[in-house]
Amino acid sequence: MTSVEFGLDTFGDVTVGTDGEPLSYAQVIRNVIEQAVLADEVGVDGFGLGEHHRDDFAVSAPEIVLAAIAARTLRIRLGTAVTVLSSDDPVRVYERFATLDAVSRGRAEIILGRGSFTESFPLFGYDLADYDQLFSEKADLMAELLTEGPVTWSGTVRPPLKDQQVYPKTESGRLKTSIGVGGSPESVVRAARHGLPLVLAVIGGDPARFAPYVELYHRALDQFELPRQPVAVHAPGFVAATDDEAIETLWPHAQKSITRIGAERGWPPLTRDRFEADIKEGAWHVGSPETVAAKIARTVSVLGIQRFDLKYSAGTLPHEAMMTAIHLYGTEVIPRVRELLAAQRTTAG
């Protein structure tokens, strides 16, 4: 717990302006850059961008946006949440992020995932029937590429490589890379098999229910005779001056977004009671700085994680509200979480 890091994630949701009308994709992307600059200024450790290819999200090429952010920031780590490896080419993923690593002076990081949205599969000509095989084989190849040596690999999803060098090489010799999972034991074990750090997407239910996955990950690393790796959590949330303000500001935007996605996936519409219950006992970390800090401290403690990333965007939630949340997260929430974790260590000791 002494080295816990705190990040922010966004999917570049298409937001509304002061007139209630949707902003252009271009303006949303420019706003995301401003959000990342503020996150750097207020001391947030990492900033992650999701990759999507649908009309309610503006960011389809996160590494380009991250490069723009790199030019305007000094210290914050810049990554993805997630890179949909299944519908991409691992060689190109490595090349793009090695380039971002150079531009940012070693601040690039990748979270590889299968993707909870599937729109990229038909867009790039992949069959959803190959969902598992695509990610499994491409993760194997990505693990080889991360060694930054000659790569020999063969599989069924792309042409083979034999003693192939891939450029540019990074200054550190390795890109910081994790595997993001949504709760599949097989995915947890896959991350361990490759010796890569684990990121758990906690988007529903009590975060404590993910403790068995953390334990499974550590057991798998031990069985593979690999060193322990850090575990991170990505979870939704929002910070405002008071609990009531946070809930009232977030509710209409979260309700619209989650209900739309739910309709696509066969979920019932999000109700206000369900929303407030998930804030109180579930995955949402929403409220005043003190309330959010207390819940993050609990999540960190109960899971024994080394990083917490707050997914601060939610549907059409306006840019100005997110800027306020970022400021509060960096200046009040993170310092308070560190105080709470330190107090827990003192009590335990």
Whether omega for the bond prior to residue 212 falls within 30 degrees of 0, making it cis, is no
Name the helix (H) or strand (E) containing 141: helix 131-145
Overall domain count for the chain: 1
Tens digit of each residue's pLDDT (9 = 90 or more) over 251-295: 999 999 999 999 998 989 999 999 999 999 999 999 999 999 999
pLDDT digits (tens, 9 = 90+) for 294-329: 999 999 999 999 999 999 999 999 999 999 999 999
Over residues 328-348, the mean pLDDT reads 94
Q: What is the helix (H) or strand (E) element at residue 112, kind and residue range?
A: strand 109-113
Q: Domain holding 84: CATH number?
A: 3.20.20.30
* Percent above pLDDT 90 for the chain: 94
| Higher pLDDT among residues 18 and 61, named by residue | 61
- Can you spell out the DSSP letters for 273-285? HHHHHHHHHSS-E
When pLDDT is averaged across residues 167-172 and rounded to a whole number, the result is: 98
> Residue 317: CB partners within 8 Å, gap ≥ 6?
13, 15, 238, 249, 250, 253, 254
Number of Cβ within 10 Å of residue 26's Cβ equals 9
Query: Chain-wide mean pLDDT for the chain?
Result: 96
Compute the distance between CA of residue 46 and CA of residue 6 in angstroms, rounded to an integer: 7
Digit-coded pLDDT (tens) for 205-231: 999 999 999 999 999 999 999 999 999
Show the tokens assigned to 265: 């996936």
Assess contact for 88 and 318: CB atoms under 8 A: no
The domain of 94 spans 5-348
- pLDDT(2) > 70: no
pLDDT classification of 1: cutoffs 50, 70, 90: very low
Whole-number pLDDT of residue 6: 98
The label of the residue with tokens 């599949």 reads: 184
